[in-house]
Chains A and B, each alone.
Chain A
Amino acid sequence: MTQQAAPAVTPPPASGPKESDGRTTRRPLALRLLARPEVGVFLGAVAVYVFFLVAAPPVRDGDSMANILYQSSTIGIMALPVALLMIGGEFDLSAGVAVISSALTASMLSYQLTLNVWVGVVVALIVSLAIGFLNGWMVVKTGLPSFLITLGTFLILQGVNLAVTKLVTTNVATDDISDMDGFGQAKKIFASSFHVGGVNVKITIVYWLVFAAIATWVLLRTRYGNWIFAVGGNKESARAVGVPVTFTKISLFMLVGFGAWFVGMHQLFTFNTVQSGEGVGQELIYISAAVIGGCLLTGGAGSAIGPVFGAFMFGMVQQGIVYAGWNPDWFKAFLGVMLLGAVLINLWVSRTATRR
Chain B
Amino acid sequence: MTSTNGTGTHGAVIADTPAQQDDTIVELRNAGKSYGNIRALHGIDLKVHPGRVTCVLGDNGAGKSTLIKIISGLHQHTEGEFLVDGEPVRFSTPREALDKGIATVYQDLATVPLMPVWRNFFLGSEMTKGPWPVRRLDIDRMKQTADEELRNMGIVLDDLEQPIGTLSGGQRQCVAIARAVYFGARVLILDEPTAALGVKQSGVVLKYIAAARERGLGVIFITHNPHHAYMVGDHFSVLRLGTMELSASRDQVSLEELTNHMAGGTELAALKHELAQVRGVDVEELPEEQDLTAPVAKTGEGAT
For B, the interface residue count at a CB cutoff of 8 angstroms equals 38
Interface membership of chain A positions 211-234, coded 1 if the CB is closer than 8 angstroms to chain B and 0 otherwise:
000000100011101100110011
The residues in A between 222 and 268 inclusive whose CB is less than 8 angstroms from any CB of B are 222-223, 225-226, 229-230, 233-234, 236-243
Which one, A19, A236, A296, A353, contacts B163 given CB within 8 A?
A: A353
CB-based A-B contact count at 8 angstroms: 103
Stretch in A20-28, A149-157, A325-333 touching the partner: A20-28
A240: chain B residues within 8 A (beta carbon): 72, 74, 94, 104, 106, 110
Contact indicator B114/A301 (Cβ below 8 Å): yes
B167: chain A residues within 8 A (beta carbon): 356
Q: Once bound together, how far apart are the Cα atoms of A238 and B124, in whole Å?
A: 7
B72: chain A residues within 8 A (beta carbon): 240
Q: Once bound together, how far apart are the Cα atoms of A356 and B159, in whole Å?
A: 15
Contact indicator A241/B123 (Cβ below 8 Å): yes
Q: Once bound together, how far apart are the Cα atoms of A224 and B244, in whole Å?
A: 43
The residues in B between 157 and 171 inclusive whose CB is less than 8 angstroms from any CB of A are 157-159, 162-163, 165-168
Q: Is B128 an interface residue (CB 8 A)?
A: yes
Contact indicator B113/A233 (Cβ below 8 Å): yes
Interface centre among B104, B109, B156 (most CB of A within 10 A): B156
B104: chain A residues within 8 A (beta carbon): 240
Question: Shortest Cβ distance from B67 into chain A, in angstroms?
Answer: 16
A301: chain B residues within 8 A (beta carbon): 114
**Smallest Cβ-Cβ distance to B125: which chain A residue:** A242
Contact indicator A226/B123 (Cβ below 8 Å): yes
A141: chain B residues within 8 A (beta carbon): none
B136: chain A residues within 8 A (beta carbon): 217, 221-222
The residues in A between 1 and 50 inclusive whose CB is less than 8 angstroms from any CB of B are 17-24
Interface membership of chain B positions 163-193, coded 1 if the CB is closer than 8 angstroms to chain A and 0 otherwise:
1011110000000000000000000000000
Contact indicator A20/B156 (Cβ below 8 Å): yes
Q: Is B108 an interface residue (CB 8 A)?
A: yes
B74: chain A residues within 8 A (beta carbon): 240
Task: Provide the main secondary structure of the chain B interface.
Answer: loop
B113: chain A residues within 8 A (beta carbon): 233-234, 300, 353-354
Q: Once bound together, how far apart are the Cα atoms of A356 and B197, in whole Å?
A: 14
**Smallest Cβ-Cβ distance to A240: which chain B residue:** B110
Contact indicator B168/A243 (Cβ below 8 Å): no
Contact indicator B112/A20 (Cβ below 8 Å): no
Question: Shortest Cβ distance from B192 into chain A, in angstroms?
Answer: 15
Question: Shortest Cβ distance from B286 into chain A, in angstroms?
Answer: 41
A233: chain B residues within 8 A (beta carbon): 112-115
Question: Shortest Cβ distance from A29 into chain B, in angstroms?
Answer: 14
Question: Shortest Cβ distance from B106 into chain A, in angstroms?
Answer: 6
A116: chain B residues within 8 A (beta carbon): none
Question: Shortest Cβ distance from B141 into chain A, in angstroms?
Answer: 13
A20: chain B residues within 8 A (beta carbon): 156, 158
Q: Is A350 an interface residue (CB 8 A)?
A: yes
Q: Is B90 an interface residue (CB 8 A)?
A: no
Contact indicator A222/B137 (Cβ below 8 Å): yes
Q: Is B95 an interface residue (CB 8 A)?
A: yes
B158: chain A residues within 8 A (beta carbon): 20-24
Q: Is B126 an interface residue (CB 8 A)?
A: yes
Contact indicator A24/B114 (Cβ below 8 Å): no
Q: Is B98 an interface residue (CB 8 A)?
A: yes
Q: Is A355 an interface residue (CB 8 A)?
A: yes
**Smallest Cβ-Cβ distance to B157: which chain A residue:** A21
The residues in B between 117 and 165 inclusive whose CB is less than 8 angstroms from any CB of A are 119, 122-126, 128, 135-137, 139, 151, 154, 156-159, 162-163, 165
A237: chain B residues within 8 A (beta carbon): 106, 108-112
A236: chain B residues within 8 A (beta carbon): 108, 110
Q: Once bound together, how far apart are the Cα atoms of A226 and B118, in whole Å?
A: 11
19 A-B pairs with C-beta separation under 8 A = A17-B156, A20-B156, A21-B157, A22-B158, A24-B158, A223-B126, A223-B128, A225-B137, A226-B123, A226-B126, A229-B114, A230-B112, A230-B123, A237-B110, A240-B106, A241-B124, A241-B125, A296-B114, A354-B165
The 6 closest A-B pairs by CB, nearest first: A233-B112, A242-B124, A241-B124, A354-B165, A237-B110, A221-B136
Interface residues of A (CB under 8 A from B): 17-24, 217, 221-223, 225-226, 229-230, 233-234, 236-243, 296, 300-301, 350, 353-356
